[in-house]
Amino acid sequence: MRWGFEIVVTLVLAAMVGIMLFQTVTMQESSMEPTIAVGDRFFINRVVYKFSSPKRGDLIVFRTNASDDAALHIRRVIGLPGETVEIKDGKVYIDGSETALDDSFIPEKMQGSFGPYTVPDNCYFMLGDNRNDSKDSRFWKNKYVSLDAIIGKAEFCYFPHPRIL
């Protein structure tokens, strides 16, 4: 009987810690294909940005407004606070660099030129991996995602094809 109680308490504590640290999300939009496809289910780390800042290339989950009922979105961090992002002929350049960011992971060459955009403090410039079919910082009225809108970092897809993101 004693073992049963200890097992139940351990499972309840593990579930509570898991709920506080991680959240599951189901992809609802095609902006991140092929990295994350519509219907993929993945875990987000809810505490990582309590101890560090988002880095270029991170896949972050965020809300479009402060409402708890607001839809969750996921995009890739491209521009960090204080940086200037410019897209020329489909290539992304940071702070006037002559070397474009590596985009070898995107399915097709991005079309168009955009910017320049100077990222405000505590904000991030975001792009989807499906660049030609993504509603992201290039097209949003408010071009940036603020740090307080970020829910967490996408870490691991568990369904239908388990993988680290």
The residues assigned a catalytic role are: 31
CA distance 77 to 136: 11
Q: DSSP alpha helices (H): ranges in the chain?
A: 2-21, 48-51
- Is 60:146 a contact under the CB 8 Å cutoff? no
Strand-strand pairing, 41-45 and 72-79: unpaired
User: What Å distances lie between residue 40 and 22, 157, 159, CA to CA?
Assistant: 16, 7, 6
CB 58 within 8 A of CB 76: yes
Tokens 């991030």 locate to 124
Q: Which of 127, 132, 110, 134 is nearest to 38 (CA)?
A: 134
